Structure 1
Amino acid sequence: MSHSVSTKVLVIGYVWPEPRSSAASGHVMQILETFLEQGWDITFSSPAGPGEHKADLTALGIREVPIELNSSSFDTFISALAPDIVLFDQFMMEEQFGWRVEKHCPDALRILETSDLQSLRHARHQRLKERLKSSDDQNDFTELFSQALREEFQLMAGSDLAKREIAALYRCDLNLMISEVEINLLVQEFSLPRQLLHWCPLMVEPAATAPRSFADRAHFLSIGNFRHAPNWDAVLWMKNTLWPLIRAQLPGAQLHIYGAYTPPKATALHNPAQGFHIMNWAEDALEVMSAARVCLAPLRFGAGIKGKLIDAMLCGTPSVTTPIGAEAMHGASPWPGAIALDAHAFAEQAVQLHEDPARWLSAQVLAETLLQQRYQRSVHGAALISKINEYREHLAQLRNNNFTGAMLRHHTLKSTQYMAQWIEAKNRPHQTDQ
């Protein structure tokens, strides 16, 4: 089978990519660029409206085609396109369109880009809410951060979200996982076949210029899309607990918080007298990250790996985070900054990194090493293309081996198809008598 220039790829996005607003979109763009390097013919479709920071895909040579949910217009579109590969961005797109893809393009390789395991993030969010309800202690979250995989499984297994998400993983031929912790969780606890999962973390090019020096930087920085619940929770924890502890030790300290889609509830926290600045969206995240001395990422729940912490490493900016923030990001290597389990330790480490040039510089050097070890675009891009080509060659055998996936596709095809057809019929304008 030849996989030359003529390979056609359809990407079905949950949203139109906004790489300057979220790491999930950044990862999608890295995958698209990897495909473009192969000379593949790419169409990007989404049922979502374009956001205000949408990337210009047409400038890269990618066709943009809006699509509709619960509409047979998609069937006509995909039959004419006849893609060799269909990539679903987030499992909800596989739920909506997977059965239509199978029906009209049964031989297309189906890939799911998970971005993170949403059912894990959701379960951790529930656990945090319960913890905050049951205790006034805003300081110590050691217990939250020290769950074994088996405990995470117990937390997720009863949820509808986990059942939907993991069914989608089974129905696809290949699932791109950004986090090795999530791969282990799926294989060890949910018994997913290892061959359905491919580790594809954020893929970056090393910085072209040397990072700015300690003396050439000022202030603390935190960054993250406000629509992402873990980021908003982190902002609240900083405002109520962490920042007062840091300011007690550094009365002149300033914290700049950047994020796309800043809601009024965030703007209301802006307080220059306390050195707490809500800065809205950063036109260039790497520029503001390079100017900061220390990046703060106090995440109390979440999943996947964190784009903001990769950005910090790229800019040579040491970061202070939690075990959730650093999860699956550094393997056996030391963290380029500090990982703290409670508020007092977090504040202590933040102050030390901000004030100690020698410790700061050694963290900066660790970041460069870590990026080379784990996140090189050339390495992960080549591994992804190799895996896709291998799976296209052996697709019939792989599907045969994945009986659970075939069974789920059989039943889902029927139930989702009838539901979608019912919705479409309901949405049709009724013929009325004159």
Structure 2
Amino acid sequence: MKVCVISSVWVEPQSSAAGSRMLQILDIFLDKDFEVTYASTASPSEFAINLTRKGITTTIIKLNDPSFDTYLQEQQPDIVLFDRFMVEEQFGWRVAQQCPDALRILDTEDLHCLRNARHQALKENRPFVNSDLFSDIAKREIASIYRCDLTLMISEYEMEVLQNVFKVPKELLHYLPFLVAPVLGEFVPFEERAHFIAIGNFLHAPNWDAALVLKQTIWPAIRKMIPDAQLHLYGAYASEKVLQLHNPKEGFYVKRRAEDAHEVISKAKVLLAPLRFGAGLKGKFIDAMQCGTPSVTTQIGAEAMQGDFTWGGYIEDDFSAFAKAATTLYTDKNLWKVAQDHGRILINNRFQKNDFEDDFYDTIENYRNTLLSRRQQNFTGQMLLHHTLQSTKFMSKWIEEKNKGK
């Protein structure tokens, strides 16, 4: 079976949780002996994983260019996976025209309209309410979900939002969270660890906001309780404004990109992530639980991760309580060990690859075998696709002609 993944970026598992997530999906396809191609509009990144070594064919594609039609005609994929709704907007109509029988899958990574709505509420210094969700981004994102045959969701909470708030049929959604191997509990001991750690791609706005909260509010409170404490802040794509947070006198160290996230997290005592907005699942906590490193975060940070299990650390929205919880974990070995065990139990019960891989494959097979009837039942999606073919197609054609003039 042929699978074509279309993305605006290359896969960087050491840079972001989204990169790790995409790599996990690609590995599922490879495990099932699918023939996989990865097409991106971006230039190759120096931090991107070498997909060709995994047996994946890669290519650079152009926006608003008929060469992509030729590419699809040559490939004739059975499945096309769009990496985020913006990519589906750009290429979905071409896929529908050139490969009408291909199963179209959307990977949301996280629900963009939810993240954007929470960010807007924070900027306006008010609580988030469901009415904030009904934005132009939501209109675009929900339309993309309807146009596709299946949408992969990483968060159970976001599936509830789509079904209860936007009334998206559950048949269009499939839950596929982060996927990891069993964690056995062979961790670096408490006595051999040092320092607090924070980590996250700085191109992602929630991570930059969390870094500011740490610097301005939480870290000064922790230093009052532990005067010699150090916080090591790691993150890919650190801009000058991030680097300016570096202050050894305050014990606040900006370390830039971590070459191996698991290595630096496994040597730290406690991971801090005071996230005030965002969506999806946070890969930093998956890494922390795999490394046996307890964490302190907010309700939004832990959202959709713990299920019926106990968090491997503390969840605090009040920043004073956050600092106290972090200090307690850092100094109390017994509580630290209990939190470590909770994290291991959580990840082993909620995010095991073996629990999701076969179900995803069976769903793909089922949807491919019933594609025509499912599309007939999804008339809203067919209607949106029809109008997209008319509007987006001719806008793209206009851009093509404009580019010829250049």
TM-score of the two chains, using structure 1 as the length reference: 0.92
1:85 corresponds to which residue? 79
Amino acid at match of 1:86: V
Is the Cα contact below 8 Å between 1:175 and 1:198 reproduced in 2? Answer: yes
**Alignment partners' CA distance in 2, 1:230 and 1:58:** 32
1:140 corresponds to which residue? none
**Alignment partners' CA distance in 1, 2:110 and 2:162:** 12
**Alignment partners' CA distance in 1, 2:359 and 2:193:** 37
Matching of residues 326-341 of structure 1 within 5 Å = 326-341=302-317
**Alignment partners' CA distance in 2, 1:215 and 1:195:** 50
Matching of residues 3-402 of structure 1 within 5 Å = 7-131=1-125, 144=127, 151-152=129-130, 154-157=131-134, 159-207=135-183, 210-402=186-378
SS in structure 2 of the partner of residue 86 of structure 1: strand
Q: Which moved more, 1:188-197 or 1:48-57?
A: 48-57
Residues 184-210 of structure 1 show CA distances to partners (whole Å, capped at 9, x for unaligned) of 000011000001000100001124660
Is the Cα contact below 8 Å between 2:185 and 2:344 reproduced in 1? Answer: no
**Alignment partners' CA distance in 1, 2:96 and 2:148:** 10
**Alignment partners' CA distance in 2, 1:280 and 1:329:** 27
CA displacement at 1:320 relative to structure 2: 0.1
**Alignment partners' CA distance in 2, 1:208 and 1:110:** 37
Is the Cα contact below 8 Å between 2:3 and 2:80 reproduced in 1? Answer: yes
Runs of 4+ aligned structure 1 residues displaced above 4 Å come to none
The number of residues matched between the two structures is 406
**Alignment partners' CA distance in 2, 1:377 and 1:255:** 32
Amino acid at match of 2:269: R
Extract unaligned runs of 5+ from structure 1: 1-6, 132-142
Amino acid at match of 2:174: H
CA displacement at 1:75 relative to structure 2: 0.2
Is the Cα contact below 8 Å between 2:105 and 2:148 reproduced in 1? Answer: yes
CA displacement at 1:25 relative to structure 2: 1.1
Residues 266-303 of structure 1 show CA distances to partners (whole Å, capped at 9, x for unaligned) of 11110001000000100000000000000001100000
Task: Indicate the RMSD between aligned Cα atoms, in angstroms.
Answer: 1.0
**Alignment partners' CA distance in 1, 2:214 and 2:258:** 19
Is the Cα contact below 8 Å between 2:185 and 2:292 reproduced in 1? Answer: no
1:416 corresponds to which residue? 392
CA displacement at 1:381 relative to structure 2: 1.4
Amino acid at match of 1:356: D
1:137 corresponds to which residue? none
**Alignment partners' CA distance in 1, 2:183 and 2:303:** 23
Is the Cα contact below 8 Å between 1:31 and 1:381 reproduced in 2? Answer: no
Amino acid at match of 2:397: Q
**Alignment partners' CA distance in 1, 2:303 and 2:183:** 23
Residues 75-120 of structure 1 show CA distances to partners (whole Å, capped at 9, x for unaligned) of 0000110000000001111000000000000000000010000111
SS in structure 2 of the partner of residue 303 of structure 1: coil
Residues 398-424 of structure 1 show CA distances to partners (whole Å, capped at 9, x for unaligned) of 111111101100101110000000011
CA displacement at 1:182 relative to structure 2: 0.4
CA displacement at 1:333 relative to structure 2: 1.1
Pick closer, same or farther for the CA change 1:359–1:209 going to 2, 3 Å.
closer
Is the Cα contact below 8 Å between 1:318 and 1:363 reproduced in 2? Answer: yes
CA displacement at 1:214 relative to structure 2: 1.1
**Alignment partners' CA distance in 1, 2:186 and 2:397:** 57
